[in-house]
Chain A
Amino acid sequence: MMRVLAFPFIVAMLSLLAVNARAELLIQITEGRTDAVPIAVVPFAGAGDVPENVSDIVRADLHRSGQFKTLSPKDMLSRPTSKEGLSYRDFRVLNQEYVVIGTIKPTGTGAYEVGYALHDVARGKELLSETYRPPESQLRDVAHAISDRIYEQLTGIPGAFSTKILYVTHNRGAERPYQLQYADADGARVKTILRSREPIMSPSWSPDGTKIAYVSFEQNGLPKIYVHNLGSAERRVVAQFKGINGAPSWSPDGQKLALTLSKGGNPDIYSLNLNNGDIEQLTDHYGIDTEPRWMPDGEHLVFTSSRSGGPQIYQLNVDDKSVRRVSFEGAYNARPEVTPDGRYLVYVHRRNGSFNVGVQDLQRGTFDIVTQTNMDESPSVAPNGSMIIYGTQHRGTGVLQAVSIDGRVKVELPSKEGEVREPAWSPFL
């Protein structure tokens, strides 16, 4: 909470965003890099009556990534809105490395023209300049697109500001306590997909971002796997076998779901062809096999198995069904995720009774814990591989937190209502 006070402007601004958007996710950075790059995002000209403050959104995006130290407008010596009015010296004396300026004006047809430019202060030159013409409903999307472009220009990595987070909330005492929701990566524009009296679990995005899969116990308290089209809101049951139907995970080509079924007498990993409904059993061991995730090559899966006693991470070759163990530290390793480049495994590791998120470098063979919270679960990796969002507990309530893949940046997402858990970061949309 002390760190929140250090950024009163950001907190106030985020609260404003929350009120406007009726967001239930509030996002605050609690620990950024000490070598974060100083950047000044100058308030855009003409922002007065525009329903979304584009430059505020851009500033918040860059700040929230933990890679940038954003200058507060009240500390700016001048607020240029065009190249002609820009004095690099005004920003050099404030130790800014980059400055972003822009304009926004209505086009008279319900749309807006948004122009921005990114300048390198030390070299005194413009790096990037673009214009967008969105309808009013897409102003936030344009703001995030601008953040993505600036982020990529300066880090070489595509930004993930235009993505969404899917998650489960639980409000004890509500008539339908379990909800499935998604929001923008900055917590705005929360949408509820499903409300239920029975549990909802394991939400998962299709690779093209148009569909999600999840487990719902809504039918008579029995678990079924649903595939839900976000655009049309249509959904269908794809698995309702006897026993467990769980842990759906989309193949990279979007044609199959790996899932856990216990219809054979024991929880094993199966592959379901979404086009024709065929299922293929992939593991066949008397231990518990669950929590499958495809590797980016589409030929391997990683999963949790208790075949050596306690849960550990294993890798399966989908073709010949061969299995080899991948995690070797400690007695409890479960719920693996894979970074988009296939290089890192992210999973839950128990040490001295504490459950944390760890990152295993498959290339170098190293393993590091990246969280200091306790009771951590359900990690999900951003599509640019930069951040991990996960579920944890804060003062006994389920909340989401995020941490950079190297553990240096921590972002807190305190819950405003009930408990929040099981985050799933969308692909690039």
Chain B
Amino acid sequence: MRSFINPLFAVLLAGLLAACSSTPTEEDTSATDTMPTDSQSSPAEPVQRPAPAKPDTSNIPVTADNFHNHPSNYDGTTDTKVIYFAFDSNTVPAAAFETLRAHASYLKDNPNAKVRLEGHADERGTREYNVALSERRSEAVQKFLRVQGVSSSQVEVVAYGEEKPAAFGHSEMDWAKNRRAVLNYTAGRP
């Protein structure tokens, strides 16, 4: 299923909304606060604030439905090597963007590095059709990297369908863990 909102825009919008949602107080020591320090006055308009610190996600429960987009799966660096996907989808989740940008930077800085994008699907449905679905997932990651300027000679795509699961159970969460693309560096590991 295709999202109709550009994921990048959604992230920006969320950031802006978060910035505008809090009201200033006397204790606020924000450097760009242009409010008078007189506690009797109230703000005439929202204050310009720097972007908030990375939100604390430890209290958002992980479910099979949000697993692919849960920030706890992505640390924003090349240490994270697995990108997850929603059911029936090959859209790269927004939570993975920073991680993929880190990989893109690494690949551009290290022309000898090569990465194999290994696509996977959950076990439901027929096997060869799942191979094709999993190729679409690798290709989505490949496209993201290419848009970031990575040379196509550094990226290879392989599709495993449901043949190499990461989780061997048959629950929704197992399936969520298997819908993935893995960045497997075959040369010049970060």
Contacts and interface: CB of A to CB of B under 8 A. Distances in A.
Chain A binding site: helix, strand, loop or mixed by DSSP? Answer: strand
Contact of A244 (B123, B124, B132): B132
B132 A262 contact: yes
B129 A355 contact: no
B169 A375 contact: no
A375 B135 contact: no
Interface residues of A, number: 33
A384 B33 CA distance: 83
Contact of B170 (A201, A350, A393): A393
Nearest to B88: A310
Contact of B129 (A217, A334, A375): A334
Nearest to A393: B170
Contacts of A378: 126-127
Contacts of A202: 127-128
B104 interface: no
Contacts of B157: 243
Interface string A325-337: 0000000101100
A246 B125 contact: no
Given A201-B163, A222-B158, A288-B133, A377 B126 contact: yes
Interface string A264-292: 00010000000000000000000010110
Contact of B132 (A172, A199, A267, A422): A267
A175 B86 CA distance: 32
A201 B169 contact: no
Contacts of A223: 131, 158-159
A377 B127 CA distance: 8
Interface in B110-165: 116, 118, 123-129, 131-133, 135-136, 157-161, 163-164
9 contacts: A201-B161, A202-B127, A223-B131, A223-B158, A223-B159, A243-B157, A290-B129, A291-B126, A393-B170
Interface of A: 172, 199, 201-202, 217, 221-223, 243-244, 246-247, 260, 262, 267, 288, 290-291, 304, 306, 311, 332, 334-335, 348, 350, 355, 375, 377-378, 393, 396, 422
Given A221-B116, A223-B131, A348-B126, 13 more contacts: A199-B163, A217-B160, A244-B135, A244-B159, A247-B128, A267-B135, A290-B131, A291-B126, A332-B125, A334-B125, A334-B129, A335-B128, A375-B170
